[in-house]
A = this chain, B = another copy of it.
Amino acid sequence: MSRSGEQTALSLLEEASLRRTKPRLLVLQSLLAASQPVTQEQIAEQLGDKTPNKVTIYRTLEALCEAGLVHKAFLQDRTWHFELAHNCSEHQCHPHFTCTACGQTTCLMDMQVPAVKSSHNGYTIQRQRMQLEGLCPQCGQR
């Protein structure tokens, strides 16, 4: 939750022409500080006693998603995990990997995924996402 995080959050809101409200700045800073996708609850927890109302966090995340600043990264146990969109291209996000042994999901930021064609049988394909499943490095060794 650094000074630069605050500045970045401000300019992200500016860029998206969203009003600079306290909850939006806080949620953005929390997302900027996160190293993995986080849930509403994790955001609230991280913000401690200055956290906005639960409903406000949801509505903020929704607004940020709509503006393209944030993505719903993946769903785990009926709970959405959110992340900043700034490492994804318009057409393709990095893949998310879930370990079948420990259940942990990880962003594979540096993995190259081949892009599919932008059209198929009349379907116009604008974005592609990939989920991977297998064993993480910890669970992989026998």
Which among A111, A134, A137 has the highest number of chain B CB atoms within 10 Å? A134
Residue of B nearest to A114 (CB): B114
Candidates B121, B122, B125, B140; contact of A124 at CB < 8 Å: B140
* Contact A136–B123 (Cβ < 8 Å): yes
* Contact A126–B130 (Cβ < 8 Å): no
With known contacts A111-B116, A113-B116, A120-B111, A134–B130 Cβ distance under 8 A: no
The contact string, 1 if C-beta is below 8 Å from chain B, for chain A 92-134, is 0001010010000010101101101000111111111111111
Check if A3 is an interface residue, CB within 8 A of chain B. Answer: no
* Contact A125–B97 (Cβ < 8 Å): yes
Q: Contacts A111-B120, A114-B114, A122-B140 given; 10 further ones with Cβ under 8 A?
A: A95-B116, A97-B123, A97-B125, A108-B123, A113-B116, A123-B132, A123-B134, A123-B135, A126-B134, A127-B134
Closest 8 A/B residue pairs (Cβ): A122-B137, A126-B134, A127-B133, A114-B114, A124-B135, A125-B134, A124-B134, A129-B131
